[in-house]
Structure 1
Amino acid sequence: MPDRSHISRRSLLAGGIALSAAVALPGCKAQMTGLLTSADAHPADYPTVRAVEFMGRWLAERTAGRLGIKVFPGGQLGSETDTLEITSFGGLDINRVNFAPLNSVEPMTLPFSLPFVFESVAHMRRVVDSAVGDEVLAAMEPHGLIGLCIYDSGARNFYNTRRAIRTPADMAGLKLRVPASDLYVAMINAMGANAVPIPYNEVYQSLAQGVIDGAENNWPSFVSARHYEVANYLSLSEHLLTPEALVMSKASWDNMPPGDRALVRQAAQLSVAEMRRLWDARVEEAKATIAQSSVEVNEVDKEAFSALMRPVWDRFITTPAQKAMVARILEMGEG
Structure 2
Amino acid sequence: MITRRNFLATSLGALAAPALIGCSKAGDSVAGGHLLTATDVHVADYPTVTAVKWIGQTLERETGGRLRLRQYHSGQLGRESEAIDMARFGAIDITRVYSGALNNAFPLTQALCLPYVFDSVAHMRAALDGGVADAVLRGFESRDLVGLAIYDSGARCFYNTKHPIVAPQDLRGLKLRVASSDIFIQLMRLFGANPTPMSLGDTFSGMETHMIDGAENNMRSFHSSRHFEAAHYWSQSDHSYAPDVLLMSRASYDQLRPDDRQLLLETARASVKVMREQWDASEDAARKAVVDFGVKTNEVDLVAFRKAADPLLQEYLKQPELAAMVSRIRDLA
TM-score bracket for the superposition, by shorter chain length = over 0.9
* C-alpha separation in 2, matches of 1:44 and 1:316: 36
| Same amino acid, percent of matched pairs | 42
Counterpart position of 1:290: 290
* C-alpha separation in 1, matches of 2:255 and 2:18: 11
* C-alpha separation in 1, matches of 2:28 and 2:94: 16
Letter in 2 for 1:79: R
Q: Deviations over 1:6-58 (max 9, x none)?
A: 363453365246447749xxxxxx99652211110111110100000000000
Equivalent runs, 1:90-101 vs 2, <5 Å:
90-101=90-101
Given the superposition, is the C-alpha separation of residues 124 and 176 from structure 1 closer, same or farther in structure 2, using an over 3 Å criterion? same
* C-alpha separation in 1, matches of 2:267 and 2:227: 32
User: Does residue 308 in structure 1 map to residue 308 in structure 2?
Assistant: yes
* C-alpha separation in 1, matches of 2:16 and 2:69: 21
* C-alpha separation in 2, matches of 1:158 and 1:71: 30
Counterpart position of 2:175: 175
Larger mean CA deviation between 32-41 and 239-248 belongs to: 32-41
C-alpha RMSD of the superposition: 1.9
Counterpart position of 2:7: 11
Given the superposition, is the C-alpha separation of residues 69 and 195 from structure 1 closer, same or farther in structure 2, using an over 3 Å criterion? same
Counterpart position of 1:224: 224
Counterpart position of 2:150: 150
* C-alpha separation in 1, matches of 2:152 and 2:192: 28
* C-alpha separation in 2, matches of 1:21 and 1:249: 18
User: Does residue 41 in structure 1 map to residue 41 in structure 2?
Assistant: yes
Counterpart position of 1:259: 259
* C-alpha separation in 2, matches of 1:308 and 1:17: 49
* C-alpha separation in 2, matches of 1:67 and 1:6: 21
* C-alpha separation in 2, matches of 1:58 and 1:20: 32
* C-alpha separation in 1, matches of 2:110 and 2:194: 21
Letter in 2 for 1:293: F
Q: 2:4·2:78 contact (CA, 8 Å) conserved in 1? A: no
User: Does residue 240 in structure 1 map to residue 240 in structure 2?
Assistant: yes
Letter in 1 for 2:139: A
Letter in 2 for 1:140: F
* C-alpha separation in 2, matches of 1:156 and 1:114: 11
Q: Deviations over 1:272-297 (max 9, x none)?
A: 11111100000110111122121111
Given the superposition, is the C-alpha separation of residues 20 and 145 from structure 1 closer, same or farther in structure 2, using an over 3 Å criterion? farther
Q: 2:145·2:250 contact (CA, 8 Å) conserved in 1? A: yes
Q: 1:12·1:92 contact (CA, 8 Å) conserved in 2? A: no
Letter in 2 for 1:232: H
Instruction: List runs of 5+ in structure 2 lacking aligned partners.
Output: 20-26
Structure having the higher helix fraction is 2
Instruction: List runs of 5+ in structure 1 lacking aligned partners.
Output: 24-29
Given the superposition, is the C-alpha separation of residues 182 and 193 from structure 1 closer, same or farther in structure 2, using an over 3 Å criterion? same
Q: Deviations over 1:82-113 (max 9, x none)?
A: 11111111111000000011101111111001
Q: 1:148·1:268 contact (CA, 8 Å) conserved in 2? A: yes
Q: Deviations over 1:224-249 (max 9, x none)?
A: 11111110100010111111100100
Post-superposition shift, 1:64?
Answer: 1.1
Local SS of the residue matching 1:74 = coil
Local SS of the residue matching 1:117 = coil
Counterpart position of 1:215: 215
- Provide the aligned length of Structure 1 versus Structure 2: 324
Letter in 1 for 2:78: G
Local SS of the residue matching 1:75 = coil
Larger mean CA deviation between 191-200 and 127-136 belongs to: 127-136
Q: 2:60·2:66 contact (CA, 8 Å) conserved in 1? A: yes
Counterpart position of 2:24: none
Counterpart position of 2:197: 197
Counterpart position of 1:27: none
Local SS of the residue matching 2:187 = helix
* C-alpha separation in 2, matches of 1:235 and 1:31: 46
* C-alpha separation in 1, matches of 2:4 and 2:159: 34
Equivalent runs, 1:98-113 vs 2, <5 Å:
98-113=98-113
* C-alpha separation in 2, matches of 1:41 and 1:116: 26
* C-alpha separation in 1, matches of 2:13 and 2:146: 18
Larger mean CA deviation between 33-42 and 296-305 belongs to: 33-42
